[in-house]
Structures are given as C-alpha cells and as structure tokens.
Amino acid sequence: MSKTKRPIVPDGGDEFTDEEFATATDRVARARESALSDPKFAQIVEEKGLVVSRRVRTLAALRKAQGLTQAQLTEELGMTQGEISRLERRENLHLTTLARFIEATGGRLRITAVYDGEEVEVGIGDLVDVNSE
C-alpha cells in the first residue's frame, strides 16, 4: 500500500486559510525539531546561524525567519497581503512603518549610529523608549 505524500505548503494558489498555514507551519516546525535533535546538524545550524544573523536581511527574509506569512501579518498591520508584499519590496519607507513591521514579526527596531567604532543608539520620534533615558 503506497501512501500519498501531502505537500508541506497546501495547494490552492495564494488563497490559503489560517488553518492550512498553521498545519504547514506545524509540520515544518516538527521536521526542524527532529533534524535539530541530531547534534552534528544542530552544531552546523548554530554555526551558520551566527554568520547569517550578521548579514543584511530584507523584510521578507526577516518575516520568513520568524516563520510568518504575509497573510498572517495582515490583521496586525491593518494591511492587505498585497500591501505587505509591496512594503517588503520598497526601497524607502517611514521609520514608523518599519518599526510596526518589525514589531509585528516579534522584534524591536533600534537605530544605531557608529562613530569611530563606538555605537550610539539613536532615538527618533515614536521609536524613543522614554524609560531608557
């Protein structure tokens, strides 16, 4: 008896339900967890992760690294999936928009200036944490 393999990402074009995304994400998470149980593989992932984390990343790459889809961010950002797609490709955007995107993906935006090797965090408008001053 042969088993039919189910695709990791459900079929159906760009229109997926939240349940389809959740089950796909769960399957990927289980596969990753299983692979990371191998100490050699886990060491390689950790070593590569250290290199990757220092690279410049696109907004889409940041979102994907958090295991999120554009559709999952629509409600949080109050945007359509198409608007999020365009946002991820923009070359210039407002800092507050960038901060909202980063927060929606689980991060916090910090802007740092570097002077002669010394880093200084720059607080701009709504991005200033009043508790840190």
Between 56 and 119, the more confident residue is 119
Q: Residue 118 pLDDT > 60, yes or no? A: yes
What residues does 42 pair with on adjacent strands? none
Domain ranges of the chain: 1-55, 56-133
- Express as a percent the part of the chain with pLDDT over 90: 16
| C-alpha torsion sign, points 21, 27, 33, 35 | negative
- The yes/no answer on whether domain 56-133 falls in CATH 3.30.540.10 is no
Question: How many residues would you count in the chain?
Answer: 133
Q: Read off the pLDDT of residues 39-95 as tens digits, 9 standing for 90 and up.
A: 887 787 677 665 545 565 789 988 888 888 999 999 889 999 999 999 999 988 888
Between 133 and 110, the more confident residue is 110
| C-alpha torsion sign, points 80, 86, 87, 93 | negative
